[in-house]
Structure 1
């Protein structure tokens, strides 16, 4: 018995010692959800994954697609007349009334903050012309974004059709795209929305508890739940200039899953500046006396152990073509990580103005004062 206790004590001691000595990025890490992805917004790099491409029901995180299509429609200031079919959509509701007239923008807030299924149907009918027309738009957008394992059958995510599913990775792709839109960012990150309605002043509080109370770095997202899908959650967070996207499907402890993933991302994968914007020096044929530069810096999230795994390769126009150009794009800088091309940034050439010699400056000064033109 004493020997067994000694073995247990030694085992625990070794576990604690390894936890102290090993870098954070080597910790064993897992989440309660059946599927999960943690993605960095700028680069699209996946920092953590669990069954990322497994198709599952997604419930109300479907509404991220509904919201971005509505926002991009250019109809946000239009007034929507609510149909009876929209009003009687089952599940979560913002309690629309048949024939009610409400601004599309208000419907999108009700969709994202209160997860109104009636709002989703009203948006679909107005923007798509019909429910079927809007679903077509949803799938068309999914195809454009490379969401290859996603099919939409409705604008709200109810389990009324077996061919309505996605994956953690695809939903991260969608959210990364949506977060490029300032209006979506604002709506997704709104904690309380106040507006006027036929029935009087309204106030909606966001159901995303990560945003409203649980995680101070959260910037937005969308909750979801049905009996078949379980709990689904997409959220976004930002800290010290790093923006992350977290997705969990069928997660019993999704709030904590997201917080744990964010802490892993922020602490273990800081953003590195691989190359700064501005002048660059390249030792390649045809680049002598050429003023080359980048208009944008190259960033990438890297753990401490990965810092030496990145490199930059330059590809320029052929030497004879390069010689004929004085300004404009002349090539690309390619970021490689683990010998895989990750990002391409244009290389530009700036026209070099010929500098005047001191003698030319003196001549121009003298002849300019006397009103006589001088040509070399």
Structure 2
């Protein structure tokens, strides 16, 4: 039987470390820019990041994502004359060619083929118009609030094709959870059985300029200027940089990555295992299944707080969710994990990986638990 009582266990982080204040990142050449941490989505740097702009061929990240999600990657696509006639960069498709969809996606991402984008759209969406509808539906699903797609390649069009640096970072973060996309995004060179020469990726940071790079996509039109998306990883920290209208985009990305890696560390806040609470019924019987981490700079420890909210039950079942652990950074909720009950006693990890902390246990009446 449930009791209408909600217990909250609060861990306040009080480390005996000096507070370090870092100067803001120097300005970058890009008109719009953002640096985010991939796991949490935390924004580490931004410059006009939410402003809608033309984005050129980094549009193809969305096109590639939808193709990899289609379940048709091994199927053959018959190339139409309309696909061949699309202006701009090309992988030199010919009408009537039969090309495996996977090959088209590699040509799309490594060589930025607009003909490949059109062929993918026709096959996956049934028509270019149908595919554009899918693009915008996926953008809404991801939460890209300053985005509208009107074509699969990134051509400027009539002004109805645009996104923001932040939205493109969110798209990339989402796409990097797709195994097939991630592999293609990070491929330096690809040899298709249908071509007698390999495709080399146009993204110079990936191919030779910056060794921590894990993937990326270039873009350029006269109206959009240079646009660039890059992912990089070092010391367990995964970062994403997006720049729009950047005259020195390679340098911008390397600089932002280096500052991110220098100033931030992906810090384990909650670890898998037993969770300690000062409650007789639940003491030594709670655990979490998945760890929870967050990127922190030195001195930001003091802004971290973990609340463990429990629902009192007379006889909880083994493995039942009995609450949640909520991570707050500077008062804002940035993550949470379910708290489970175990009939067997759990080895206590304390849940929070800090050498010193205060525990404040309080109860609140009349708060409904949302499960």
> What TM-score, normalized by structure 1, do the two folds share?
0.85
Post-superposition shift, 1:52? 1.0
- Give the Cα separation in 1 of the matches to 2:224 and 2:265: 33
- Asked if structure 1 preserves the Cα contact closer than 8 Å seen for 2:57 and 2:153, the reply is yes
Q: Deviations over 1:307-347 (max 9, x none)?
A: 11101001111x2x253433321111000100111101111
Q: Could you tell me how far 1:298 is from its partner in structure 2?
A: 1.4
Q: Which residue of 2 aligns with 1:12?
A: none
1:175 Cα deviation after fit: 0.2
Match of 1:58 among 52, 55, 59: 55
Give the match for residue 309 of structure 1: 303
Alignment counterpart, residue 38 of structure 2, candidates 41, 48, 53: 41
Secondary structure at the counterpart of residue 219 of structure 2: strand
CA distance in 1, matches of 2:25, 2:168: 25
**Corresponding residue for 1:76?**
73
How much does 1:23 deviate? 5.8
2:292 is matched with which residue?
Answer: 298
Contact 2:316/2:341 (<8 A) preserved:
no
Counterpart residue number, 2:365 = none
Aligned to 1:364: none
The residue number in structure 1 matching 2:319 is 327
Q: How many residues align?
A: 327
Contact 1:230 1:249 in 2 (8 A): yes
Spell out, residue by residue over 1:58-86, the C-alpha distance to the aligned partner (whole angstroms, 9 max, x if none).
00000000000000000000100000010
Q: Give secondary structure in 2 for the equivalent of 1:323.
A: coil
Assess if the C-alpha contact under 8 Å between 1:196 and 1:202 holds in 2. no
Residue number in structure 1 paired with 2:331: 339
Give the deviation of 1:240 after TM superposition: 1.2
- Whole-angstrom distance in 1 between the partners of 2:319 and 2:71: 37
Q: Which residue of 1 aligns with 2:124?
A: 127
CA contact (8 A) 2:70 2:124 kept: yes
TM-score (norm 2): 0.86
The C-alpha deviation readout for 1:79-111, integer Å capped at 9, x for no partner, is: 000000100100000000011110000000000
Q: Could you list the runs of 5+ residues in structure 1 that have no partner in the other structure? A: 1-21, 354-376
Correspondence list, 1:251-290, <5 A: 251-284=246-279, 286-288=281-283, 290=284
CA distance in 1: counterparts of 2:343 and 2:257, whole angstroms: 45
Matches within 5 A, 1:200-219: 200-219=195-214
Q: Does residue 1:352 correspond to 2:344, yes or no?
A: yes
- Structure 1 residues 58-207: aligned runs within 5 Å: 58-197=55-194, 200-207=195-202
Q: Deviations over 1:172-225 (max 9, x none)?
A: 00000000011111101110101211xx52310000000001100000010000
What's the C-alpha RMSD, in Å, of the aligned pairs?
Answer: 1.5
